[in-house]
Amino acid sequence: MNGFIVEREELYRVIDTYHRDHFLRRLVANRDTYPPGLMYLSYLGHAVTTIEPYLSDQQRHALLFGKLAAGAPEDFSNTRLYSALSELTMLSSFARLGAIDYEARVRPGSRKDIECLAHFEGLEVEIEVKCPDLFPHQARRAERFQSDDRVVEEYATRIPGGASSGSILPKDNKVKDFLEDANEKFSSAGTRTERRYSLLCVSWSHLLNEPLGYCLGLAGLFTDRSFARDEADRPLTFENVDGVLVTDALGWHNDNFGRDEFVRNPFDLARLENYLIFNPRSSHRIPPLVPDVLNCAVVDEAWARRNLPDATIWLKWPFTAGSDEATPGPS
């Protein structure tokens, strides 16, 4: 392991090179007058320091000046920023549990890296992290009707504000893409030892019913009714993915910017809301100690039937009954 540890002022100098609209740069600029921002920067620095011993000099530079910068100053992207912050949440959380092999390549012949190979409690767990661009999705919630599963068109059109007025469609294809990509990156399930597993980690907003429904709902990717099917009309198996960890890390990274009071550390899985879904078609069953260590609730189809909605109707608040317009709130 390397001996370098990032210093607070060094981190601030790095962040000062980022795009002027970069959230982290704004936090650094206002750190003396905005205590929640200073606390967020402290948690960020601790997360970077936690994984630094497992990075080469080149990887460290790429993390600080590449991933966290979220693009060159002329090509800055909030989507890339939140993806990098979500990756850092997972990497630092697993590094605290034991050790990590950063950007490991675990599939023979593949040129694709996973986020890390985590070592803890005598296990090896292949980790891939995904974070979707939810900003357009969230902005459309003013359109009232949101399908949380694949609802038939005829049903949707009968609901006020439904498909006929542009309903919010599920982002289940994005989760399908995540699974397919992870399935190609992970080692073949048939070549793994009984102490080695794979885990796709999906960072989402606080509305975790969305990704959970995409996996376990009426047309869930881990059900026999899955909308993702092969040429023989059989559900895609994603056999190299042993499980999916769904967390609201993205929601907390987003929430903690601009709040008057800091809420929680979004770089620590133990402080977030997490769910673990086992892939029923995987030949490897993730042992119980994994969800225990990761602070995850294990959920399945039966849980989904009891707890997940099929659709959501968004209302502006305060709301006046009988009116299609929201009552103006306090100024």
pLDDT in tens, the chain (331 residues): 343 456 788 899 999 999 988 989 999 998 888 888 888 999 999 999 999 999 999 999 999 999 999 987 778 888 999 999 999 999 999 999 999 999 999 998 888 999 999 999 999 999 999 999 887 666 566 555 566 666 543 455 555 554 445 556 678 999 999 999 999 999 998 889 889 999 999 999 998 999 999 999 888 999 999 999 999 999 999 999 999 999 999 999 987 665 666 668 999 999 999 999 999 999 889 999 999 999 999 999 999 988 887 666 655 554 444 444 433 333 2
Domain membership of residue 47 (yes or no) is: no
> How far is Cα 84 from Cα 228, in angstroms, rounded to an integer?
28
Copy the structure tokens of residue 45.
């620095």
- In 273-286, which positions are buried (b, 16+ CB within 10 angstroms) versus exposed (e)? bbbbbbbeebebeb
Domain membership of residue 8 (yes or no) is: no
In the prediction, which pLDDT does 175 show? 97
> How far is Cα 168 from Cα 146, in angstroms, rounded to an integer?
4
Q: How many domains does the chain have?
A: 1
Domain membership of residue 149 (yes or no) is: no
> How far is Cα 265 from Cα 256, in angstroms, rounded to an integer?
9
Domain membership of residue 202 (yes or no) is: yes
Q: Where are the alpha helices (DSSP H) in the chain?
A: 8-15, 23-29, 35-51, 57-62, 78-97, 135-139, 153-157, 172-185, 209-216, 249-255, 289-293, 301-307
Q: Determine contact, residues 22/84, Cβ cutoff 8 Å.
A: no
Residue 150, SS3? coil
Copy the structure tokens of residue 130.
């995904």
As separate numbers, helices (DSSP H) first and strands (DSSP E) second, the chain gives 12, 9
In the prediction, which pLDDT does 320 show? 46
In the prediction, which pLDDT does 134 show? 82
Domain membership of residue 83 (yes or no) is: yes
In the prediction, which pLDDT does 159 show? 53
Domain membership of residue 307 (yes or no) is: no
Task: Using a cut of 0.85, tell me whether the model's pTM lies above it.
Answer: yes
In the prediction, which pLDDT does 34 show? 84
Structural domain harbouring 216: 78-134+171-299
Domain membership of residue 18 (yes or no) is: no
Question: In sequence order, which residues have a C-beta less than 8 Å from that of residue 2 and are 6 or more positions away?
Answer: 52, 53, 55, 56, 57, 60
In the prediction, which pLDDT does 74 show? 77
Copy the structure tokens of residue 203.
């960072």
Domain membership of residue 24 (yes or no) is: no
> How far is Cα 331 from Cα 328, in angstroms, rounded to an integer?
8
In the prediction, which pLDDT does 243 show? 97
